Amino acid sequence: MENLERILSDHPFFHGVNKGFVELAAGCAKNARFEAGDFIFHEGEAADQFYLVREGRVALQVAAPGRGAATFLTLGAGEVFGVNWLVPPYRWVYDAKALERCRLIAMDAKCLRGKCEADHSLGYDIMKRLMPVLIDRLHETRLQFLDLYGSHG
């Protein structure tokens, strides 16, 4: 547990979180490892984990008829993914696939939701860290949607 606390504290998502909160969060955390090509989760499955990337690269994908799997975002060390743990019905809406060997921290979603509910200060701190991630992803998606590099760009 102590090791997980240190690992969590070192991850940018938890930088500056007070020690007590890290201890609480670490109670919901475990190490996870995936090899290149492994699926971390599939669209439609229960979103019961929230992931912090320690090493490796992850592709978030949606399969489109006639096009196969289309990657819309890749993530690397220091980043997080899987925010569907936060909002009902807690279901993945895309696939996550390891592009290379990945070392992740998997946070148990039910456990984390319970601790955030029980301690609103922890919940608020986690929200303050998740909101910039969500806002950045929304902004980036808008830029991708604008198709800036096309001949009209």
Partner 1 sequence: MMSETAALLHARPMVPQIAHVHRRRHDAPDAWTLELEMASGERFHYAPGQFNMLTAFGVGEAAISVSGDPADGPLIHTIRAVGPVSKALTQLGPGDPIGVRGPFGVGWPMAQAEGRDVVVVAGGLGLAPLRPALYRLLGERDRFGKVTLLFGARRPEEIVFRREVEHWRSRLDIDVEVIVDHATGDWHGNVGVVTNLISRLGVDPAKTLAMVCGPEVMMRFVSMALVDKGVGEEAIYLSMERNMKCAIGQCGHCQLGPTFICRDGPVFTYERLKPLLAIKEL
Residues at the contact surface with partner 1, assessed by CB under 8 A: 57, 59, 67-74, 76, 78, 99, 136, 140, 143-144, 146-153
With a CB cutoff of 8 Å and minimum separation 6, the contacts of 42 are 92, 95
Least Å distance, CB 114 to partner 1, is 31
Q: Which is nearer to partner 1, 70 or 118 (CB)?
A: 70
How far is 11 from 60, CA to CA, in rounded Å? 20
Query: Which residue's CB is nearer to partner 1, number 36 or number 118?
Result: 36
Nearer to partner 1, 89 or 149 (CB): 149
- What value does the CA radius of gyration of the chain take, rounded to a whole number of Å? 16
78/90 Cα distance (integer angstroms): 23
Distance CA 45, CA 49 (A): 11
